[in-house]
Amino acid sequence: MRIIDRYLARELAGSFASVSVVLLLVTVGGVLADVLNKIARGKVPAQLLLAQVGLRSVEALGILLPLALFIAVLLAYGRLYRDSEIAVLAASGFDARRLAKPLAWLATPVAILLAAIAFWLGPLALRTADALVADANRSLLVIGMEPGRFVELPGGQGVVYVASMSPDGSKFERLFVHTERRERVDIVTAANGELYQDREGERFLGLNDGFRVEGEIGKPNFRTMRFARNDIGLPDAESARDRRAETRSTFESLRASETPRDHAELHWRLGLPISALVLALLALPLARGQPREPRYGKAAIAVLAYVIYANLLALGRGWLADGTVPAAAGLWWIHASAIVIALYLVRRGERLRPGAAT
Residues 130 and 13 in one domain: yes
174 lies in a domain? yes
Tell me which DSSP letter residue 165 carries. E
Displacement of CA 289 from its chain's centroid (Å): 34
Is pLDDT at 4 greater than 60 in this prediction? Answer: yes
Q: Which of 236, 269, 291 is the last residue of a domain?
A: 236
Is pLDDT at 180 greater than 80 in this prediction? Answer: no
- Phi first, then psi: give them for residue 322, nearest 5 degrees: -95, 5
**What are the tens digits of pLDDT across the range 244-288?**
667 676 766 666 666 778 788 888 888 899 999 999 999 888 888
Mean pLDDT for the stretch of residues 176-202: 78
Residues 99 and 197 in one domain: no
pTM tops 0.85: no
Residue 119 lies in domain: 3-136+242-348
Residues 255 and 154 in one domain: no
Query: Could you please report the per-residue DSSP string of 17-66?
Result: HHHHHHHHHHHHHHHHHHHHHHHHTTSS-GGGHHHHHHHHHHHHHHHHHH
Residues 157 and 232 in one domain: yes
Give me the pLDDT at residue 234, please: 64
Residues 167 and 290 in one domain: no
Q: Which residues of 289-315 are buried (b: 16+ CB within 10 A; e: fewer)?
A: beeeeeeeebeeebeebbeebbebbee
* Angstrom distance (rounded) from CA 238 to CA 126: 12
Residues 15 and 92 in one domain: yes
114 lies in a domain? yes
Q: How confident is the model at residue 25 (pLDDT cuts 50, 70, 90)?
A: very high
- Phi first, then psi: give them for residue 150, nearest 5 degrees: -75, 130
Residues 231 and 264 in one domain: no
Output 235 or 149, whichever has higher pLDDT. Answer: 149
**What are the tens digits of pLDDT across the range 321-331?**
888 888 888 88
Query: How are strands ordered across the β-sheet holding 184-197?
Result: 151-152, 158-165, 171-181, 184-197, 203-216, 223-233
Beta strand 184-197 with 203-216 is: antiparallel
In 3D, which of 107, 91, 115, 110 has the Cα closest to residue 8? 107
357 lies in a domain? no
Dihedral (CA of 126, 127, 133, 136) sign: negative
355 lies in a domain? no
Residues 104 and 250 in one domain: yes
Query: CA gyration radius for the chain?
Result: 28
250 lies in a domain? yes
Residues 223 and 274 in one domain: no
Total domains in the fold of the chain = 2
CB 89 within 8 A of CB 358: yes
Three-class SS state of 232: strand
CB 103 within 8 A of CB 12: yes
Residues 59 and 132 in one domain: yes
In 3D, which of 334, 193, 223 has the Cα closest to residue 274? 334
Give me the pLDDT at residue 352, please: 43
Give me the pLDDT at residue 242, please: 55
In 3D, which of 9, 201, 239 has the Cα closest to residue 101? 9
358 lies in a domain? no
354 lies in a domain? no
CB atoms within 10 A of CB 286: 23
Dihedral (CA of 315, 317, 318, 319) sign: positive
**What are the tens digits of pLDDT across the range 292-322?**
666 666 778 888 899 999 999 999 888 888 8
Residues 258 and 318 in one domain: yes
Element (H, E) at 210: strand 203-216
Q: Which of 197, 217, 236 is the last residue of a domain?
A: 236
Residues 52 and 158 in one domain: no
Q: Which of 218, 236, 254 is the last residue of a domain?
A: 236
321 lies in a domain? yes
